[in-house]
Amino acid sequence: MFCGNAFAGEGEAWGEVVFNTSMTGYQEVLTDPSYNGQIVTMTYPLIGNYGINSKDIESEKVRVEGFVVREYEPVPSNWRSEQTLADYLNKEGIIGIEGIDTRALTRHIRLSGAMKGVISTKDLNPDSRVEKARTSRGLVGLDLVKEVTCDKPYGWPQDKEARFKVVALDCGMKFNIAQSLAEKGCQVMVVPAHISAEEIRAMNPDGILISNGPGDPEPITYSVDTIRNLIPDYPIFGICLGHQLLGLAFGGKTYKLKFGHRGANHPVINLLTGKVEITAQNHGFCVDIDSIRDPDIEITHINLNDQTLEGMRHRTLPIFSVQYHPEASPGPHDASYLFDDFIDLMERKGKAHT
C-alpha cells in the first residue's frame, strides 16, 4: 500500500502498475496508446518541470489510466510550455498522485512483477482498495487494441512529395511513427487494426507498417490473419506489438514479461553489425525466442539486459521487425536507420517489378 497526494484528477482508476525509466518525455509517455490499461510510475523524481505543449503528443488524448510521481513541479519553466501537467491531466480526467516513494514502488514491481492496482481519492479503506485492485481486469488474454485503433482509414499529412505509399496498420500507433515515414518521403495511409487483407491490397501500397500497441498480442487474431495473408507480397516492417504480431504470424509464441521494458535506455545488440544500440522501449509481452523455428527467420537483435528477442527478419522476403521504437519520442536516435532500411526494401521491391 502506497499513500500520496493527488495533484490532478479525482475519483478512482484501475490498471496494471508499471514503471518507466525515462528522465524526460512524460508527455509522450502519457499519450502513448501502448499504455492503455496501465498506471504509470515515473522513476525520475521530478515531473512537470517543463510543462505541456501541443506538439509533443503521441495520440489525440492521454492513454494512461493513472500517473504516479515522486514530486510534481507546479511551475513549469520552458519556452514551449503551454499549460501545466496538472491542468492537462485535469482536462483529460486522469488522476495524478505525488509524494509516492517511486524508488520503493519500482523495486517492488521488479521483485514481484507488474500487478493490478487502483488509485482512489475517495475510498480510503485499505482492504476495500486491495479488493478492487484484485478484482479489476488484467491484461493477459484481453484485446486492448480495439480500444485504441482508429475508426476508419485516414491519410497522414505530407510535407514533401511522396515516393512510396505505406499502409500503417494502427494497433495503437504513436504519431511520430507516421511522421518519421512521412519525413522519409512516404505517403502514409493509417488503417484500423481490424481491416482485411483484401482492403489493404485494394489500396495498392508499396509497403506495410505494423504499429506498436497495448497489451497481449495473442487475442489480436484478426490482425495476425491479415498479416499472414500479406506476408508473401509486400515489404513489411513491424514495431513493438507489430513485431509480436509478426512473430505469431510466423508460427511463434509470445509470453508476458515479469515487469516489462519501459524507458529510453535499454541496450540492444545488433547481431548483423555487432553494434550496441541504446533504445526506447514500452512493452510487457515478448516473442519467445525459442518458438521461432522457421529456418527462414533470422534473429537480428537481442536485449542485453535479459537476452530477450528484440528483432528478426525473413531471409528471403522483404520483412523485418523490432521490439523497440526507432522513432524514439522520447529517447535516443540510435535505431532511426530502420526507417531507411524499410525504404530500401520498398525501393528494391519496386525495381524488381519494373
pLDDT value, residue 353: 53
Mean pLDDT value of segment 167-187: 97
Amino acid of residue 214: P
Angle CA 169–194–166, to nearest 5: 20
pLDDT value, residue 351: 67
Mean pLDDT value of segment 123-129: 87
Positions marked catalytic:
240, 325, 327
| pLDDT tens digits for range 287-307 | 999 999 999 999 999 999 999
Q: What percent of the chain has pLDDT over 70?
A: 99
Q: Which of 18, 1, 9, 37 is nearest to 121 (CA)?
A: 9
| pLDDT tens digits for range 16-41 | 999 999 999 999 999 999 999 999 99
Q: Which three cell numbers stand for residue 173?
A: 500507433
pLDDT value, residue 354: 47
pLDDT band at 9 (very low <50, low <70, confident <90, very high): very high
Average pLDDT over all residues of the chain: 95
Q: 208 and 170 in contact (C-beta within 8 Å)?
A: no
Mean pLDDT value of segment 134-139: 88
Q: How many helices (H) and strands (E) does the chain have?
A: 10, 18
Q: Does CATH number 3.40.50.1220 belong to domain 145-352? A: no
Q: Which of 126, 106, 104, 130 is nearest to 117 (CA)?
A: 130
Alpha-carbon separation of residue 339 from 269, 328, 335 (angstroms) = 18, 12, 8
pLDDT value, residue 1: 81
- Boundaries of every domain in the chain: 5-135, 145-352
Q: 33 and 173 in contact (C-beta within 8 Å)?
A: yes
Q: What is the pTM (predicted TM-score) of this model?
A: 0.95
What CATH number belongs to 5-135?
A: 3.50.30.20
pLDDT value, residue 352: 63
